[in-house]
Amino acid sequence: MGVLWLDDVRAADLETVGGKGASLGELTGAGLPVPPGFVVTAGTYRAFIEEAGIDEKLFAAMDVDPEDSAALKEASETAHELILETPFPDAVREEILAAYDDLDDGEAFVAVRSSATAEDLPDASFAGQQETFLNVQREQLLERVKECWASLFSQRAIYYRERQDFPHDAVDIAVVVQEMVDAEKSGVMFTSHPSTGEPRLIIEAAWGLGEAVVSGTVSPDNYVYDRNSDSVEEVTVADKKVKMVKDAETGETVEETVEPDRRNERVLSDDEIEALVELGERVEDHYDEPQDVEWAVADGDIYMLQSRPITTIDDDDADLEEERETETENEGDVLIRGLGASPGVVSGEVRVVTELDQLDKVGDGDVLVTEMTMPDMVPAMKRAAGIVTDEGGMTSHAAIVSRELGVPAVVGTGSGSRELVDDQVVTIDGDRGTVIEGRTEPAEPDHEPVEEVRPKTPVKPMTATEVKVNVSIPEAAERAAATGADGVGLLRMEHMVLTLGKTPERYIEEEGGEAYQDQLVDGIQGVAEEFYPRPVRVRTLDAPTDEFRTMEGGEDEPTEHNPMLGWRGIRRSLAKPGVFQHELAAFRKLYDMGYDNVELMLPLVNDADDVIKAKRLMEEAGIDIEKRNWGVMIETPASALCVEEMAAEGIDFASFGTNDLTQYTLAVDRNNEHVADRFDELHPAVLELIADTIETCREHDVDTSICGQAGSKPEMVNFLVEEGISSISANIDAVRDVQHEVKRVEQQLILDSVR
Ligand code: PEP
Ligand code: MG
């Protein structure tokens, strides 16, 4: 049978339905409130590859050296092609669709998840690497099932099995298809303390769908329930800035800001906690061991989405213990948990940094522990083997920079800098978000080999609109280039400058202008080389005065009431051309070295006057402005309204900096959390400025682009492609999705035009 209903599945069916399927079946059978669903069995996958005759070819392709990342990539691509391009047998197709039609009359939004039958492999995160698709409907269902099958052959999974000497053909995969719960609130629950095993039940809760908690996008509320005294022992209400919700029209999961009055409101009442505790105890009784449960509340009803044993508690079972000792190198006492912000497992000695002048104590291979990272810490972050912060979410400075650097990081631990102490040896797991006592990583390769194989296979769709990537840290160039992006749409100079430790003026005064130029040349060259001949759009310096304040020379910075409206970008460059001239000299040096792919972009211009003055300085620096590609950021309403005059001055491109364009159009400070709910890049006023600018630029043969954060959002991508933008620049993580979204919209436009 190709499909099994969760009602009919039991734990003993593990081989057929995989770990996830078996667990959900068990919970359903125990009368727990599990959303309905079915499992496409592992046998179906096996029959598919065998009957289609692709099995031999598939497993033969896996015969690779796991350390050879090119070979690994090829093996993964071959497997994906074989699986995705082989048609479904009719009988199986019909069985899956018939089962789907029984869920909510064929209208259900379902989650489609892979469920591997070898989840007992020692590294649990291996299983976690496999696919999950949310909000799937009938039209995409079969494709998604195949994609789950193909996920068995991701580069990382192949690498992992090779290193574990685990035969590739010994792993089968089932696929769980389950109705989605449109949750008002959700979270996770540990039925016993996750590290000590004490009878204290811990619940994390946030508004909206559970992905926000599981992915770490939001810091959830934390509730501790003492099972001895049957009472709520501790309630920690977090500031929950965002939530994930299902978009009513598209069914997609989208991120929304939480209504201001609910951000700091308690998610769970005492009654709801009691109800969750009761369910938690039932699950624990059923399995006879502490569980880690994902739950959701919809229309007042509680659902259990998943339950697994808590693996971090020491187990008495001697066999299991022995097995762990021999097979698992990543166990130990979890000292502290946070968000896994940058993947990889690494060990090192703790260096707690509470003041900037302590950065020198972070040496190569140490674990940097701090409240929150800042640009001045980047040199220490580069030296560090891993990073732990008290604060921050997945888009914080620590998260973005550590991801770009490929350094494993756990952020938002709450108290890491107070609980961890200097010289303590710890292992941080940037996938799971844990910090463990002791050195438990594999002795030899550290996180790097994993990083090498981690980037998704860039099977790049062909698009007419170019898709580029934003780079803030030159060290991220290699990873950025591996996305298959068409170039760099924004290389920010700020990190190269802010990491010098001195303001540009002070640096030039003490080290000389040549040295300043060389620092910039070094930073830009690395990226230009990595992408050559793909274009790299480098922006001249744009740091508000407050960012220079803590640096040497910062005392000479003017005090501004509102630095965002102040002395930054082209304003500072034109007012103090000394520093700007050195930046331009660095561009000139790069052109002389042959980096003709370098483009020059001017930030925060308002009008043609700014452009004329900058142009003069560029010419004085010996830059041939007829030959080079140069342009402006559109970040103020004035620049959008004056783009025609700027076009007359010869700009080659105009790039929307929507972070600033939104803040200045709506008068909403982008860094002010009190008005964060009003920061809307899709506001009609912002969109109108963008649309008009694109139209004017098209008339004057000026390319248009976006390099603000909004370029990574599907709704904005959709709008821009329809308006005819020339290119879109996205974050490293988003490039792949943006490529696909661009392709989808372009195809739709073509179809619409021929219909
Ligand atoms: C922007 O304003 O959208 C932009 C890309 O510049 P920054 O975020 O560096 O101000
Ligand atoms: Mg900006």
Q: How confident is the model at residue 357 (pLDDT cuts 50, 70, 90)?
A: confident
Inter-residue contact 681 to 705 (CB < 8 Å): no
- 22-34: b or e for each residue (b if 16 or more CB lie within 10 Å)? bbbbbbbbbebeb
Most confident region among 344-348, 395-399, 511-515 by mean pLDDT: 511-515
Mean pLDDT value of segment 16-26: 87
Q: Tell me: pLDDT of 445 over 70.
A: no
pLDDT of residue 118: 63
Mean pLDDT value of segment 355-365: 89
Inter-residue contact 485 to 747 (CB < 8 Å): no
Inter-residue contact 404 to 479 (CB < 8 Å): yes
The model scores a pTM over 0.85: no
The closest residue, in CA terms, to atom 8 on ligand 1 is 659
Mean pLDDT value of segment 327-341: 66
Q: How confident is the model at residue 318 (pLDDT cuts 50, 70, 90)?
A: very low
Read out DSSP for 101-153? HTSGGGT--EEEEEEETTTTSS-HHHHHTS-EEEEE-HHHHHHHHHHHHHGGG
Question: Is 697 an annotated catalytic residue?
Answer: no
User: For 221-237, what is each residue's pLDDT tens digit?
Assistant: 888 899 889 999 888 88
Q: Which ligand is nearest to the CA of 662?
A: 1
Residue 469, classed as helix, strand or coil, is strand
User: For 671-699, what is each residue's pLDDT tens digit?
Assistant: 776 787 888 999 999 999 999 999 999 99
Q: How confident is the model at residue 726 (pLDDT cuts 50, 70, 90)?
A: very high
Q: How confident is the model at residue 630 (pLDDT cuts 50, 70, 90)?
A: very high
pLDDT of residue 322: 34
What distance in Å separates the CA atoms of residue 700 and residue 697, rounded to the nearest whole number? 5
User: Which residues have CB under 8 Å from 48's CB, separation 6+?
Assistant: 86, 88, 89, 92, 149
Q: Tell me: pLDDT of 242 over 90.
A: no
Residue 420 tokens read as 């961890």
pLDDT of residue 613: 98
- Residue 708 Cβ < 6 Å to ligand 1: yes
- Residue 659 Cβ < 6 Å to ligand 1: yes
The amino acid sitting at 681 is E
What distance in Å separates the CA atoms of residue 183 and residue 208, rounded to the nearest whole number? 5
366-374, Cβ contacts within 8 angstroms, sequence gap of 24 or more: 367/426, 367/428, 369/416, 369/417, 369/420, 370/417, 371/417, 372/396, 372/397, 372/398, 373/397, 373/398, 373/401, 374/550
Q: Tell me: pLDDT of 121 over 60.
A: no
Q: How confident is the model at residue 12 (pLDDT cuts 50, 70, 90)?
A: confident
For residue 707, report the distance from its CA to the centre of ligand 2, in Å. 9
The closest residue, in CA terms, to atom 1 on ligand 1 is 657
Catalytic option among 193, 397, 447, 582: 397
For residue 166, report the distance from its CA to the centre of ligand 2, in Å. 49
Residue linked to tokens 């006592």: 437
The amino acid sitting at 35 is P
- Residue 712 Cβ < 6 Å to ligand 1: no
Inter-residue contact 7 to 29 (CB < 8 Å): yes
Domains in the chain, start-ordered, CATH in brackets? Answer: 3-179 (3.30.1490.20), 185-315 (3.30.470.20), 326-442 (3.50.30.10), 466-750 (3.20.20.60)
With a pLDDT cut of 70, the percent of the chain lying above it is: 89
What distance in Å separates the CA atoms of residue 426 and residue 667, rounded to the nearest whole number? 45
Q: Tell me: pLDDT of 448 over 80.
A: no
pLDDT of residue 216: 55
Read out DSSP for 30-82? TT--PPPEEEE-HHHHHHHHHHTT-HHHHHHTT---TT-HHHHHHHHHHHHHH
Nearest-atom index, ligand 1, CA of 494: 9
Q: Which ligand is nearest to the CA of 709?
A: 1
Inter-residue contact 470 to 483 (CB < 8 Å): no
What distance in Å separates the CA atoms of residue 18 and residue 131, rounded to the nearest whole number? 14
- Residue 601 Cβ < 6 Å to ligand 1: no
pLDDT of residue 205: 92
User: Which residues have CB under 8 Å from 262's CB, separation 6+?
Assistant: 207, 240
Angle CA 64–68–72, to nearest 5: 55
Mean pLDDT value of segment 13-30: 86
Inter-residue contact 728 to 738 (CB < 8 Å): yes
Strands 301-309 and 386-389: unpaired
Q: How confident is the model at residue 651 (pLDDT cuts 50, 70, 90)?
A: very high
Mutation to probe ligand 1, out of 660, 666, 671, 728 (largest number of atoms < 8 A from CB): 660
User: For 148-177, what is each residue's pLDDT tens digit?
Assistant: 999 888 776 787 677 667 788 888 889 999
What distance in Å separates the CA atoms of residue 595 and residue 481, rounded to the nearest whole number? 16
Residue 310, classed as helix, strand or coil, is coil
What distance in Å separates the CA atoms of residue 21 and residue 9, rounded to the nearest whole number? 8
Q: What is the mean pLDDT of the chain?
A: 86
Residue 649, classed as helix, strand or coil, is coil
Q: Tell me: pLDDT of 363 over 90.
A: yes
pLDDT of residue 214: 65
Q: Tell me: pLDDT of 634 over 60.
A: yes
Residue 408: φ, ψ to 5°: -55, 140
The mean-pLDDT minimum among 10-14, 188-192, 208-212 falls in: 10-14
Q: How confident is the model at residue 129 (pLDDT cuts 50, 70, 90)?
A: very low
For residue 662, report the distance from its CA to the centre of ligand 2, in Å. 10
Mean pLDDT value of segment 263-278: 94
- Residue 702 Cβ < 6 Å to ligand 1: no
For residue 494, report the distance from its CA to the centre of ligand 2, in Å. 11
The mean-pLDDT minimum among 63-67, 270-274, 444-448 falls in: 444-448
| pLDDT: which is higher, 120 or 212 | 212
